[in-house]
Every structure is written in C-alpha cells, then in structure tokens.
Amino acid sequence: GDSVTQTEGPVTLSEGTSLTVNCSYETKQYPTLFWYVQYPGEGPQLLFKVPKANEKGSNRGFEATYNKEATSFHLQKASVQESDSAVYYCALSDPSNTNKVVFGTGTRLQVLP
Amino acid sequence: DPKIIQKPKYLVAVTGSEKILICEQYLGHNAMYWYRQSAKKPLEFMFSYSYQKLMDNQTASSRFQPQSSKKNHLDLQITALKPDDSATYFCASSQDRQGQNTLYFGAGTRLSVL
C-alpha cells in the first residue's frame, strides 16, 4: 500500500538556522504530494502541493521539489523563525485511489528565539 | 469565521458509552472525511464520503459509524467506547474526491474515554 516516511522529530533549531525535513514515499502511481502544517489546537492546513514530478512547490519561505527518481519530497527553509514552530506532515494522494490522503507521521519543529 | 465546524471541542466519556461527534462544512465541498490523531498513529484516515455516499472505510471496527444527513454534514457515531478510542478526531472536506484537491480540516474534537 501507499506510505510516507519522514524525519522523526522533534527537531529543535535556533531562529535563523536552516531546516530540512526529509520525506520519502512509496506508491505504484504518480501521486500528488503535499506538505501540511499543524499549529497547536488547530487542524492541519495546506502549506503547498505539487501535482507533477520534477516541479517545485513553495510558500512562506518553505519549498520542496517532487523528485520522482528518488521518490522524495524534502521540505526546506533557509532561515526559520519562532513562528514556524509546528508539526509538519508530508502526504500523498494516489490517483488510483482518490478517496483518501496518506499522511506521514509528522515532524514536530521547535524554533528557539 | 471557521468554515468547518466541529462540536464539541472536548468530550469526556465513560467506557461502554456512546457519543456523536458533529461536523458541518460551509465551503460548498462535495467530499468529506474523518481522520483520527493519536500518539500511536498520527492522522489516520477513517472514512471518506462523496455526495453523501460512503467511498472508503479504513476503520476495522463497526463501532464507528459516519452519518450524513445533509451534503455539508458528516457526523461520527462511536458506540461501546473504549479507552483506546481516546484521540483527537478531525473532520475534513475537499472540493471533490481527493486527487489534487486540498483537504481543509476542522479544529478537531478531543475525545477522552475513562
């Protein structure tokens, strides 16, 4: 079945440092890939999505490239801020089963001032 | 204003009881979902509905029953509650069945079973 594996947290960084959260996926088809972010007390919300291989998605300084060959979708940010503290989920939607999204286990990021 | 309303925000129940979790969405979406989040299995898919019809069920137990009385409602009835059911339950919706569509989540109902 489809699966998503991502960096195990928590990840603790100082403000201004760079972030990489690794994400690898397994699926038989070519999925749409997503990054969702969840702040305390809220539901997850979309950070960005990439439907096509070899394309890049970005939002709020975060970016990730859909690497079909490596089956990866790593999240990066050059300089994190305290307000980026949240849980980040990598996810995929398999076109052969449009009824659900498969999420990774989430990576908790804490940014210290 | 929140576009997906989940009620109640917090719920405490005793083992063996029955509860209903309420979800209404005001985004005009055609597909709705339930996800469960716990320490053991973060964001676990449970059900998907499209135009009020059940499309996928990944919940092994029949104690969990979704109910859709209107297109923008998808409630979740849980019977014979167990402590293991303690989790935060998220309702979500998308324009149509998943594919490239973005999921929009409610704020969740945190259920504690004693």
CB B105 within 8 Å of CB B37: no
In whole angstroms, give the CA distance from residue B25 to residue B5.
6
For chain B, say whether A32 makes contact (Cβ under 8 Å).
yes
For chain A, say whether B110 makes contact (Cβ under 8 Å).
no
For chain B, say whether A90 makes contact (Cβ under 8 Å).
no
Q: DSSP secondary-structure letter at A1? A: -
> pLDDT band at B98, cuts 50/70/90?
low
pLDDT (mean) for A3-22: 95
Q: Is the pLDDT at A30 greater than 90, yes or no?
A: no
Q: Is the pLDDT at B87 greater than 80, yes or no?
A: yes
Q: Is the pLDDT at A108 greater than 90, yes or no?
A: yes
- Of residues B19 and B71, the one with the higher pLDDT is B19
- B58:A45 CB<8 A: no
pLDDT (mean) for B30-56: 89
pLDDT tens by residue, A37-95: 999 989 999 999 999 999 999 999 999 999 999 999 999 999 999 999 999 999 999 87
Q: What is the pLDDT of residue B56?
A: 85
Residues of A within 8 A of B27 (CB-CB) are none
Q: What is the pLDDT of residue B77?
A: 97
CB A104 within 8 Å of CB A90: yes
Q: What is the pLDDT of residue A9?
A: 87
Mutate to test the interface with B, among A100, A103, A107 (most CBs of B within 10 A): A100
Q: Is the pLDDT at B42 greater than 80, yes or no?
A: no
Three-class SS state of A105: coil
Q: DSSP string of B61-101?
A: -TTEEEE-SSTTB-EEEE-S--GGG-EEEEEEEESSSSTTP
For chain A, say whether B45 makes contact (Cβ under 8 Å).
yes
Instruction: Tell me the HSE value of B15 on the side-chain side, using a 13 A CA sphere.
Output: 4
Task: Please give the mean pLDDT across all residues of chain B.
Answer: 92
Nearest alpha carbon to residue B31 among B106, B93, B90: B93
Residues of B within 8 A of A95 (CB-CB) are 99
- B100:A44 CB<8 A: no
Q: Which of residues 5-24 of A touch B (CB under 8 A)?
A: none
Q: Which of residues 36-75 of A touch B (CB under 8 A)?
A: 36, 41-46, 49, 51
Q: How far is B83 from chain A (nearest CA, A)?
A: 22
Q: What is the pLDDT of residue B12?
A: 97
pLDDT tens by residue, B48-85: 998 888 888 888 789 999 999 998 999 999 999 999 99
